[in-house]
């Protein structure tokens, strides 16, 4: 191959001038974000602080470094009582009382690992807000539940079916953390349950009979809260069904329990063809070295990892914070997939942003950052009617002299030839 020192031809001096002027515009367009970004912490930069908290938590729980890296130890030692919590970071007597009060109604629990990410000096730390009960949950007057999703969309045990070609098998109600914003907070109950083989066999039989099903999502709860051999069995059964083309796993473990992603688990997944794993990073502080290592193992095993963020007031309902999250996720090989609008359900009103906030975020992503960093913003339709994308409108008029009038991400209004 020959070497050309000048690069591609065809750009005139005038062309370079125009390009330089455009670059000035681009630099201006991004400056606000670059300033804001300095104040948005990423877990990759907090390793030392998190390590200190880890040591403190290990001392409180009387655990070793080896135990810390064992996901089963993490689950056994999930922090569920106020006394332990108060030994990890400061809690006033009033806060302790409130946590106990809320906990009587809806379960709470946080893995020692996730607790180590909490900034002890920040009562509004996004990690704390997602994991520790707040009195706002009890003060929420909206008594809204949504039984239709379960009532009308389960044609067989353990199955939820909302779409033509795919469905969910719920394998457990257990989670590696009880997220305070969880839509299933009422379904979690007070005990962990793994659904029995008989029920899963009925679900598998349903899939065998319905040949249009090509995509099966294992979730819960959190699909990775069951043992490797149980998942291995379900995945093997699905492998044997010819019309099932892909399998998906729904889990928050890469975020809240990254040690769950063991070498043995990844070796098991590697046997099972195309597997897509979707997780839920909601803030850049969750993008840590352990989370990055977990995702790297998964990708080495051929598993593609996506992110389903929930739009949460006080956590990420901000155009800069969300953009940083999307970019930080890509840094550790996680592809932004969805931003879910937070539903109106009992106890989570304080997390709900407006749809306008979500639209502003989408407006501020498109063009301002690479398409890879842009997920689909979703409203989940009431009554279990499925995910509906919502987007800023770029089309201004579809018939201006046979042309479409639209605006660009940067605000330029243009015509586009729409001749048939």
Q: Which residues bind ligand SF4 (CB under 6 A)?
A: 175, 177-179, 182, 184, 221-222, 252
CA-to-CA separations, 238 to 85, 241, 269, in angstroms, rounded: 42, 5, 13
Q: What distance lies between CA 361 and its chain's CA centroid?
A: 16
- Token look-up 């999930």 returns 78
For the bound state, the minimum distance from the C-beta of residue 350 to ligand SF4, rounded and expressed in Å, comes to 16
Within a 10 A sphere around the Cβ of 420, how many other Cβ atoms?
3
Neighbour-count burial of 325, counting CB atoms closer than 10 A to its CB (0-12 exposed, 13-18 middle, 19+ buried): buried
Name which of 187 and 357 has its Cβ closer to ligand SF4: 187
Name which of 42 and 106 has its Cβ closer to ligand SF4: 106
Residue 261: closest CA among 205, 202, 301: 301
Name which of 177 and 311 has its Cβ closer to ligand SF4: 177
Cis peptide before 221 (omega within 30 of 0): yes
Within a 10 A sphere around the Cβ of 3, how many other Cβ atoms?
4
- The answer for residues whose C-beta is within 8 angstroms of residue 278's C-beta and 6 or more apart is 248, 249, 250, 251, 305, 306, 307, 308, 337
For the bound state, the minimum distance from the C-beta of residue 178 to ligand SF4, rounded and expressed in Å, comes to 5
The values of phi and psi at residue 207, to 5°, are: -65, -40
For the bound state, the minimum distance from the C-beta of residue 284 to ligand SF4, rounded and expressed in Å, comes to 18
Name which of 112 and 221 has its Cβ closer to ligand SF4: 221
Name which of 60 and 102 has its Cβ closer to ligand SF4: 102
Name which of 189 and 302 has its Cβ closer to ligand SF4: 189
For the bound state, the minimum distance from the C-beta of residue 34 to ligand SF4, rounded and expressed in Å, comes to 32
Name which of 127 and 244 has its Cβ closer to ligand SF4: 127
For the bound state, the minimum distance from the C-beta of residue 153 to ligand SF4, rounded and expressed in Å, comes to 17
For the bound state, the minimum distance from the C-beta of residue 390 to ligand SF4, rounded and expressed in Å, comes to 21
For the bound state, the minimum distance from the C-beta of residue 187 to ligand SF4, rounded and expressed in Å, comes to 9
The two three-digit tokens of residue 303, written as one number? 């598993």
């Amino acid at each position: 191959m020959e070497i050309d020192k000048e690069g591609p031809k065809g750009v005139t001096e005038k062309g370079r001038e125009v390009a330089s002027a455009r670059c000035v515009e681009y630099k201006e367009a991004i400056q606000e974000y670059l300033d804001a970004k300095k104040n948005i912490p990423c877990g990759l930069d907090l390793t030392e602080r998190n390590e200190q908290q880890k040591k403190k938590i290990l001392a409180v729980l009387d655990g070793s470094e080896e135990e810390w890296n064992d996901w089963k130890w993490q689950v056994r030692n999930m922090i569920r009582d106020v006394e332990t919590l108060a030994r990890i970071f400061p809690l006033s007597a009033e806060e302790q009382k409130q946590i106990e009060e809320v906990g009587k109604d809806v379960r709470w629990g946080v893995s020692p690992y996730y607790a180590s990410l909490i900034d002890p000096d920040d009562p509004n730390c996004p990690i704390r807000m997602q994991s520790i009960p707040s009195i706002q949950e009890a003060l929420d007057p909206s008594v809204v539940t949504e039984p239709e999703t379960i009532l009308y969309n389960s044609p067989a045990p353990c199955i939820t079916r909302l779409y033509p070609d795919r469905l969910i098998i719920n394998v457990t109600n257990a989670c590696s953390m009880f997220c305070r914003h969880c839509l299933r907070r009422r379904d979690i109950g007070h005990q962990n349950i793994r659904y029995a083989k008989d029920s899963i066999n009925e679900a598998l039989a349903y899939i065998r009979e319905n040949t249009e099903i090509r995509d099966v999502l294992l979730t819960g709860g959190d699909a990775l809260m069951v043992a490797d051999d149980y998942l291995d069995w379900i995945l093997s059964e699905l492998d044997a069904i010819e019309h099932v083309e892909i399998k998906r796993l729904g889990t928050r473990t890469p975020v809240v329990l990254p040690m769950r992603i063991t070498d043995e688990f990844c070796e098991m997944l590697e046997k099972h063809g195309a597997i897509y794993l979707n997780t839920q990073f909601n803030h850049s502080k969750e993008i840590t070295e352990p989370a990055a290592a977990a995702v790297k193992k998964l990708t080495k095993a051929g598993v593609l990892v996506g992110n389903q963020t929930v739009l949460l007031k006080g956590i990420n309902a901000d155009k800069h914070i969300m953009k940083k999250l999307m970019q930080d996720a890509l840094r550790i090989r996680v592809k932004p997939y969805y931003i879910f609008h937070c539903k109106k359900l009992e106890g989570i009103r304080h997390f709900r942003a407006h749809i306008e906030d979500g639209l502003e975020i989408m407006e501020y992503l498109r063009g301002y950052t690479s398409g890879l960093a842009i997920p689909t913003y979703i409203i989940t339709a009431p009554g279990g009617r499925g995910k509906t994308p919502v987007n800023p409108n770029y089309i201004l008029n579809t018939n201006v002299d046979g042309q479409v009038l639209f605006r660009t991400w940067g605000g330029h209004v243009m015509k586009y030839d729409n001749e048939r």
